[in-house]
Structure 1
Amino acid sequence: MASIARLSVFASAAFVMGAGPADDGRWFAGGFSFSDELGGFRILEIRGSGTKADPVVLTKELYSASEVILVIRQDGPRPPSMAADRPGTALYLQLETVNGSELAWVEFSYELQMHLGQPSVYGDGLSFDQAQAEDGTISADAFTSFSRDFEPYDRLLFRDGKVDPKETATFSMLITDLTPTYQFYLVADPRIPFS
């Protein structure tokens, strides 16, 4: 009985704390794994449980001003939303994004994709809190405004700001999934000034 309790403690700690990458390069936090396997950036650190009070905080460095894709997978028991009025899964996510390029970013967009290369559509259940059940779930410290697009894709565009080379911008968002799916993608696209 004691060994079961000990195993439960270790499993719970891994679920909540996160750490370095696993042998296959995936980083674990909040019942999900996060991977930079598609290239163009690297994950530096991860922590948190994915709740509103303790969001998953993922620190990453982008090497260029090109689009990069974060692979997110369900690994282990997925925590249900704690809100009584919210069905499905709610993942509170903060992305600390280091500008490792040599160019300033003047806008930044995020897009959800259920299938790689295909926009997320209304019927797939994946969104940046499309129901907007609560306020204040989307923000960025380096940009003063944002817009949401829901159809034909789920996209956030952060504007009116700038992230210079070697600076860090923090983006906060709530991803909800009504299906839920085992794997989905978060496309990050920094935008540079036109010359």
Structure 2
Amino acid sequence: MSLTLISAGPADDGRWYAGDYSFSDELGGFRILSIRGSGTTADPIEIEEELNSATPVTLVIRAARQTQLQSAFHLSIVTLNRSGLAWIGFDFELQEILGKPSDFYDGLSFGQIQPNAAFISSNRFDHFESQFERYDRLRFDEGHVDPLDRSKFGFFVTDVTPVPEFYLVEDPRIPST
């Protein structure tokens, strides 16, 4: 049975499955609402989620089977802003080790080997910046997301030295006071 067919809700282990990966909100601070897709350009893995605060949250990503480590997939994140605050930017950061910024040597990136700006998108922010070294981060700005609005982001994740588990830190940015 294809893992894509069982992505209507979380499995018994609390993980959501799509393509060759599982995704989890187990570290808290947000909630996954649905997941679908296979990870290709035509059918990216789309994660719908809601953030209840404007603090960073971490999505746990695992290979669905240890014997099936892939090296790339297209990802789309649709986020409902339930924080009560407007967001003026949004950052995504990849981490191979939780809490440690990804570096050049871990092979994990937002398509750093063959960068393609066409794979990076947002419906709410007009500008993005790829920050590759010292960490792998995408920073979106020049826009906003009001409370109870949705934002959609798209990007390509590559790992030239695939590992069975890694992390995507999501950080909504709010105006400073």
Matched, 1:75 2:72: no
Report the alpha carbon displacement of residue 17 of structure 1 after superposing the two structures with TM.
5.9
Per-residue CA deviation, residues 141-186 of structure 1 (Å, 9 max, x unaligned), is: 1000000111110000000000000000000010001111000000
Query: Identity of counterpart residues, as a percentage?
Result: 53
Match of 2:89 among 107, 119, 123: 107
> What amino acid maps onto 1:176 in structure 2?
T
The structure carrying a bigger helix percent of its residues is: 1
Match of 1:27 among 16, 24, 27: 16
- Consecutive unaligned residues of structure 1, counting only runs of 5 or more, are 1-10, 81-88
**Structure 2 counterpart SS, 1:187:** strand
**Structure 2 counterpart SS, 1:123:** helix
1:18-167 to structure 2, matched below 5 A, reads: 18-76=7-65, 78=68, 80=70, 89-167=71-149
- Consecutive unaligned residues of structure 2, counting only runs of 5 or more, are none
RMSD: 1.4
My pick for the range that moved more, 65-74 or 22-31, is 22-31
Q: In structure 1, how many angstroms separate the alpha carbons of the residues matched to 2:151 and 2:68?
A: 28
Query: Displaced runs of 4+ in structure 1, greater than 4 A?
Result: none
Q: In structure 2, how many angstroms separate the alpha carbons of the residues matched to 1:70 and 1:135?
A: 23
Per-residue CA deviation, residues 101-129 of structure 1 (Å, 9 max, x unaligned), is: 10000010000000000000111110000
Larger radius of gyration: 1
